[in-house]
Amino acid sequence: MERVALGCSTSAHQLRRVRHRIRVLVADDNAGFRESVLTLLDTEDLQIVGEAGSGAEVLELIAVAEPDVVLMDVRMPVMDGIEATRRLKAHHPQIGVVALSGHEDQDMVREMLVAGASGYVLKDSDGDDILNAITQAALGGGVLSPEVTPRVIEELTDALDRERRRTKELEEAQEALVERSTRRHEMVARLSHELRTPVTVILGMAQTLAQGTAQPDQRQELLDRMVDRAKALGRLVERFELTVDAGLTELVDVVAMAREVTAQRGRVTVIAAHTLPAVSVNPVAAARILDELVDNAVRFSPDGSPVDIDVSLGLACVDVRITDRGPGIDPSDRDRIFGAFEQLEELNRRVHPGAGLGLSLARTAARAMGGDVELERSGPEGSTFLWRIALDV
């Protein structure tokens, strides 16, 4: 059976680049098939350093076996190959993983690649194909069976494009927040300097009046000068307030922003009270928060089911509620979903690919602007996430 290599095919030159026999750990719950693979891999270029019957055993053996490549069966008891690969790559990113399966399951291929596998071969592949995949993994490349390659590559390309766009938007928002924070400190320092002189003058005149040494006509002159200085000081403070406000935030119509963010999502409806005040936020970060919450709702709802965005006036805040029709979230997971890289679906059945960063980033950005994101309610009929945006009062 023909195989497609992600990179160059194996050659004598590439084998020399490894500089030592490739250390391989074989993981498969079928002892008979595992024995066949061990026989296949008994070559002068490969060294078997361990074998395991589950993903949990793989993780236990890693420190002792120190493999270059793990040949990982996808379906195994206790811990499947997808979960084992995810954990393995998190702590040992330099170890190559070649997924091994008896099924041409497109979703399974994608999940293994997302977890960190660099190659995917079928159990009925030619022996040379498996050897080639292991060598490619040791060299930093990978091999995919042609039966699954086109669709998987297309899906991964789309996912990478989406992540690049999101990363760019987040970087721009972060840069804007850092810049505005720097400007805040600069403005505070300048304000302190500019206020010191008039305050010192007013204090001096007040002390002169308090001592009672000034003549009646001098007292009136001092009072008049104090009033003028105080008025000038008030105008100075007002100018600085306007400058600081304009430099740090923008007034945003949340309802208009919600409609703009969801314009291309036909299943999303924006519901709003008739009159709502504009909020002072970073517009890029605010749009990103809403997009992450809506994306989360859409991805975890049944196809075609509606998603509602309700914008209302709360207590000293504007409340934005995003309601989906998903299966709900277990009470034990309600805090964990806001952690970075957290995903609630079991990896061997996951149908919603992603890094698990959306809710964590949304909450972090919301808190940076004085608000918060929380899970307000969840049950079999769906979930509602609440984004509170503080009002300047």
Once rounded to an integer, what is the mean pLDDT over residues 246-264? 83
Residue with token string 């104090």: 226
Q: What does the pLDDT look like over 376-393, one tens digit per residue? A: 999 999 999 999 999 875
Higher pLDDT, 217 or 377: 377
Residues 6+ apart with CB under 8 A from 331: none
DSSP 291-349: HHHHHHHHHTS-TT--EEEEEEE-SSEEEEEEE--S----GGGTTGGGSTT---S-GGG
pLDDT of residue 245: 42
**Euclidean distance between CA atoms 111 and 64, whole angstroms:** 27
Question: What SS3 class is residue 238?
Answer: helix
Higher pLDDT, 42 or 17: 42
* Statement: residue 280 has pLDDT above 80: yes
Which of 230-239, 271-280, 344-353 shows the highest mean pLDDT? Answer: 271-280
Higher pLDDT, 137 or 348: 137
Domains belonging to the chain, first-starting first, are 4-147 (3.40.50.2300), 163-248 (1.10.287), 252-390 (3.30.565.10)
pLDDT of residue 259: 93
pLDDT of residue 290: 92
* Statement: residue 109 has pLDDT above 90: no
Least confident span in 28-42, 98-112, 295-309: 98-112
* Statement: residue 180 has pLDDT above 70: no
Cβ 288 vs Cβ 231: under 8 Å: no
Report percent pLDDT > 90 for the chain: 28
pLDDT of residue 244: 43
pLDDT of residue 253: 93
Longest dimension (CA), the chain: 111
pLDDT of residue 246: 37
pLDDT of residue 188: 63
Report percent pLDDT > 70 for the chain: 77
- Average pLDDT of the residues of the chain: 79
Cβ 10 vs Cβ 27: under 8 Å: no
Counting Cα atoms < 13 Å in the Cβ hemisphere of 205 gives 18
Q: Which two tokens stand for residue 260?
A: 């703009």
pLDDT of residue 358: 67
Q: What does the pLDDT look like over 44-70, one tens digit per residue? A: 889 999 999 999 999 999 989 999 999
Q: Where are the beta strands (DSSP E) in the chain?
A: 4-6, 22-27, 46-52, 69-73, 96-101, 119-122, 142-144, 250-252, 268-272, 279-281, 307-313, 317-323, 372-379, 382-390
Higher pLDDT, 267 or 101: 267
* Statement: residue 119 has pLDDT above 90: no
**Euclidean distance between CA atoms 312 and 255, whole angstroms:** 9
**Euclidean distance between CA atoms 251 and 280, whole angstroms:** 4
* Statement: residue 345 has pLDDT above 60: no
pLDDT of residue 393: 55
Instruction: Categorize the per-residue pLDDT at 343 as very low, low, confident or very high, splitting at 50, 70 and 90.
Output: very low
Instruction: Categorize the per-residue pLDDT at 145 as very low, low, confident or very high, splitting at 50, 70 and 90.
Output: low
pLDDT of residue 177: 73
pLDDT of residue 219: 82
Q: What does the pLDDT look like over 226-245, one tens digit per residue? A: 888 887 777 666 545 444 44
* Statement: residue 144 has pLDDT above 90: no
* Statement: residue 1 has pLDDT above 90: no
